[in-house]
Structures are given as C-alpha cells and as structure tokens.
C-alpha cells in the first residue's frame, strides 16, 4: 500500500554510525546512509550550517536527505558534526574554530568518502557549510559542489578564484529572501567562477523552511540524473518515523547576530 512520505518519514537504507579522525587529532561523529540493496550511484558529503546558531548534521535538509535519498535516488549520504558540534547522534570533539580548524574536518570527511570507495562524490554546503566548501572543498576526488544559502562570510575572493581554477561544476541555490546574500548579489559575486550556476529560488528564505523537497530534487538532478524528479511523495514499502521532539530546540543555523549589509 502506498503511504505518504511525511517530514519525519524514514525510508529503508543501510545506516552506519561512523567516526571521522582529523589530522589534528579529533574524533568527529557522523553517519553514512547507503541504499539497502544496491550500490550507490552517487554520494553527497554534507557540511552543516553554523553550529553556534544551531547548525548540525541533523539540520532538516540533511536529515531528510539521509532518510530519503538512499532509497529514492540510490545515493549515499555522509553527514557529520564538525568540531565541537552536538546533535542527537552525539558530540564531536574539539571546539568551533570560526572556519579555521574546520579545514581538517573537511579533509577528514572527503577522505572517508574516498577510502570507502563511494562513487561520484559531491560536496554540499549549507550556510556556514558553504564557506567550508569554498575554502577547503576543492579536492581532486570530488565531482562538484552544491551550495545552499551561501553568505560568503568566512570565504574570500581568493577562495572563489581557486574554485574557478579548479574547474569542477558548482551549483549555487540562493533564496529570494535570504538574510545575507540574495540572488542578484550572488550572481555578481560568483561571476568570477565561470562554471558556477546561480539559481534564485522564489519565496525561499535562508533556512529553506518549506523548501526541503525542492532542494532534494535539485541535488538529485545533479548527483543521480537518471532518477526522475520531482521525487515521489508516496512510498510503497516499510517506513519508520523520526522523533520530531529531538530537534525541537535545535534550529537550523542563521547568523542572527550579523546584520545584512
């Protein structure tokens, strides 16, 4: 019987708690979700929003990706808590370092995906996570980058120039009503990266509340292009439900202390 896929629906997958070990000696908490009965056709490595404002590996787009995409799109989803970040999965060692020490976290996540022989690796950054991707994600083993709500707060023009030289594809999704960088300005800033495609999303805000399905469809079109989109909103198979109360006091990150310039 077909059942509606709800916000907290968890579809079948092989889910494994993992640890990432950084070059500076920290242990980071994570999870790898894989298709249940087939090899993945593509992989996303997820970098979450600002942990000092609630960002974590369980921020809503990423947990929905892990709960749905292995079954619906044949994808592997690797998500983790950067240094000092805590979620229901646990707390990573270390302390938030303003995008500096996190370079080791990025390297550890990409290396894990490579050593696990995961295919077609895309790095996905959201808010603060986009800064991590832009600063440290241009690694030879990745296929491309997907940026959600980039504020360009920690990343620099030099980081953008490095991506331009790197040459791998980049898709930038910018909410119409973002608090930090809106579509017209984003197109100007990313113009220095010839391979960057910037798309404004009408009606959306920085946190993508109500737009998770649109974002998942955009990711699937890039990473698993043979999968039809929009993804189905019903599923003929077993589903369980996540505990919504576990996230009630953990909002996805915004820079609430940083006014828009």
Question: What is the DSSP code (8-state) at residue 253?
Answer: P
Strands 3-4 and 121-126, by their bridges, are: unpaired
Both tokens assigned to 165: 């030289």
pTM, rounded to two decimals: 0.94
CB 8 within 8 A of CB 241: yes
pLDDT at 249: 52
Q: How far apart are CA 16 and CA 70, in angstroms?
A: 13
Nearest to 85 by CA among 17, 10, 28: 28
Q: How far apart are CA 52 and CA 85, in angstroms?
A: 8
Angle between helices 60-73 and 212-223 (to 10 degrees): 50
Low-confidence ranges of the chain (pLDDT < 50): 251-261
Which pLDDT tens digit goes with each residue over 169-191?
999 999 999 999 999 999 999 99
Which pLDDT tens digit goes with each residue over 62-75?
999 999 999 999 99
pLDDT at 250: 53
pLDDT at 243: 82
- CATH (residue range 13-224): 3.40.50.1820
């Amino acid at each position: 019987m077909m059942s509606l896929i709800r916000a907290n629906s968890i579809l079948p997958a092989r889910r494994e708690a993992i640890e990432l070990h950084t070059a500076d000696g920290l242990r980071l908490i994570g999870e790898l979700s894989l298709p249940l009965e087939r090899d993945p056709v593509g992989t996303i490595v997820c970098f979450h929003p600002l942990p000092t404002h609630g960002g974590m590996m369980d921020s809503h787009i990423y947990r929905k990706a892990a709960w749905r995409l292995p079954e619906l799109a044949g994808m592997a989803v690797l998500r983790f808590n950067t240094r000092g970040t805590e979620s229901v999965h646990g707390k990573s060692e270390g302390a938030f370092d303003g995008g500096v020490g996190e370079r080791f976290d990025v390297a550890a996540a990409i290396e894990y995906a490579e050593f696990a022989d995961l295919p077609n690796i895309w790095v996905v950054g959201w808010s603060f996570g986009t800064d991590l991707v832009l600063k440290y994600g241009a690694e030879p083993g990745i296929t491309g980058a997907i940026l959600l709500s980039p504020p360009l707060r920690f990343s620099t023009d030099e980081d953008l120039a490095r991506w331009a030289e790197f040459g791998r594809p980049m898709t930038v999704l910018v909410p119409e009503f973002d608090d930090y960088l809106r579509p017209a300005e984003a197109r100007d800033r990313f113009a220095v990266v010839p391979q960057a495609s910037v798309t404004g999303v009408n009606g959306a805000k920085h946190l993508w509340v109500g737009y998770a399905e649109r974002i998942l469809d955009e990711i699937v079109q890039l990473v698993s292009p043979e999968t039809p989109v929009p993804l189905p909103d019903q599923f003929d198979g077993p589903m369980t439900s996540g505990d919504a109360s576990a996230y009630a006091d953990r909002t996805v990150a915004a820079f609430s202390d940083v006014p828009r310039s």
